[in-house]
């Protein structure tokens, strides 16, 4: 295979010049998130078992996960998970509050960032490096501001306060905005959030159970992941839907 560089065909791209790889595009990553339907929130006080947690999630067909920056040495967890799992998991960083943390996450291998709040500089950083961004919002004004600023998906947090009815209400005037609830999503509410218009679900301790992580019970996490992915699949099959 040859490459065109400065008008000449060369056998390989010059050193430091990356060729376009559609697997690395933001659009492709967005489709991965929508196809999976679950963004696992990986948070625990001890970073030690978390790479195994990400593996266990993938074994249960939850292949999108964010490691939050509330985890001690979160950068090292992201870097090691990326090294061990490669493209098997779309790995992101959560609780990203500023552009400095955002850039550090990308350098460690994160492919997307999630935040509990809206910081326009974080969105700009993600756009600069063509990475997915899911900022947090709570009111319709914040949702629109996040979307206009370039959010790929708007994370509604804390979703347990407003419930699925809020998503249904927002979908009326804002059908174009992709919404993800985080907080209050469990096996009893997941399908209701999807029915109300959520494009995917952010799931934390109801999926990455602290008790299971502490015990090293990764089989439990895999089993829960299968249940959550099964809820998404069953809902979509019942609606005759394909991921957006």
What digits encode the pLDDT tens for the residues 88-139? 999 999 999 999 999 999 999 999 999 999 999 999 999 999 999 999 999 9
Please tell me the predicted confidence (pLDDT) of residue 199: 98
Mean pLDDT, range 26-44, rounded to an integer: 98
> Which one has a higher pLDDT value, 207 or 11?
207
**Percent helix, strand, coil in the chain (nearest 5)?**
45, 15, 35
Q: Which residues contact 214 (CB under 8 A, 6 or more apart)?
A: 44, 46
Of the candidates 66, 82, 111, 178, the residue annotated as catalytic is: 66
Q: Which of 7-21, 56-70, 74-88 has the lowest mean pLDDT?
A: 7-21
Angle at 26 between CA 194 and CA 14, to 5 degrees: 160
Please tell me the predicted confidence (pLDDT) of residue 18: 39
Mean pLDDT, range 16-45, rounded to an integer: 81
Please tell me the predicted confidence (pLDDT) of residue 14: 43
Mean pLDDT, range 68-77, rounded to an integer: 98
> Which one has a higher pLDDT value, 192 or 243?
192
Q: Which residues on neighbouring strands pair with residue 38, listed in sequence order?
A: 201
Please tell me the predicted confidence (pLDDT) of residue 240: 85
Provide the 3-class DSSP secondary structure of residue 42: strand
> Which one has a higher pLDDT value, 187 or 8?
187
pLDDT at 86 over 50: yes
Of the candidates 55, 82, 131, 155, the residue annotated as catalytic is: 155
Please tell me the predicted confidence (pLDDT) of residue 91: 98
pLDDT at 173 over 90: yes
**Distance from CA of residue 183 to its chain's centroid?**
14
Please tell me the predicted confidence (pLDDT) of residue 20: 43
Confidence of residue 241 (pLDDT cuts 50, 70, 90): low
Mean pLDDT, range 196-220, rounded to an integer: 98
Q: Considering the chain, what is the average pLDDT of its residues?
A: 92
Strands, E assignment, 88-216: 90-94, 112-114, 132-134, 136-137, 154-156, 179-181, 201-203
Confidence of residue 223 (pLDDT cuts 50, 70, 90): very high
pLDDT at 24 over 70: no
Q: Residues, the chain, total? A: 244
Provide the 3-class DSSP secondary structure of residue 129: coil
Determine whether 66 is an active site residue: yes
Q: Model pTM greater than 0.85?
A: yes
Residue whose pair of structure tokens reads 């990986």 in the numeric block: 42
Provide the 3-class DSSP secondary structure of residue 132: strand
Q: At what angle do helices 74-85 and 50-59 cross, to 10 degrees?
A: 40
Burial label, 217 (beta-carbon count in 10 A; 0-12, 13-18, 19+): middle
């Amino acid at each position: 295979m040859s490459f065109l560089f400065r008008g000449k065909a060369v056998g390989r791209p010059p050193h430091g010049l990356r060729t376009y790889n559609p697997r690395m595009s933001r659009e492709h990553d967005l489709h991965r998130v929508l196809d999976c339907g679950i963004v696992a929130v990986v948070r625990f006080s001890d970073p030690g078992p978390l790479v195994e947690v990400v593996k266990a999630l993938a074994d249960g067909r939850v292949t999108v996960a964010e490691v939050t920056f509330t985890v001690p040495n979160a950068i090292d967890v992201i870097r090691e998970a990326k090294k061990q799992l490669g493209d098997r998991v779309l790995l992101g960083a959560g609780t990203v509050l500023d552009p400095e943390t955002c850039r550090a996450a990308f350098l460690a291998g994160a492919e997307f960032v999630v935040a509990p709040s809206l910081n326009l500089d974080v969105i700009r950083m993600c756009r600069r490096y063509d990475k997915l961004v899911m900022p947090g919002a709570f009111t319709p004004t914040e949702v629109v501001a996040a979307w206009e600023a370039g959010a790929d998906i708007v994370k509604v947090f804390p979703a347990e306060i407003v419930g699925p009815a809020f998503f249904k209400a927002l979908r009326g005037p804002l059908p174009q905005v992709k919404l993800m609830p985080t907080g209050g999503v469990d096996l009893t509410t997941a399908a209701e959030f999807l029915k109300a218009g959520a494009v995917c679900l952010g799931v934390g301790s109801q999926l990455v159970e602290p008790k299971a992580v502490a015990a090293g019970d990764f089989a439990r996490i895999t089993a829960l992941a299968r249940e959550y992915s099964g809820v998404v699949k069953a809902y979509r099959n019942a609606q005759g839907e394909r991921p957006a």
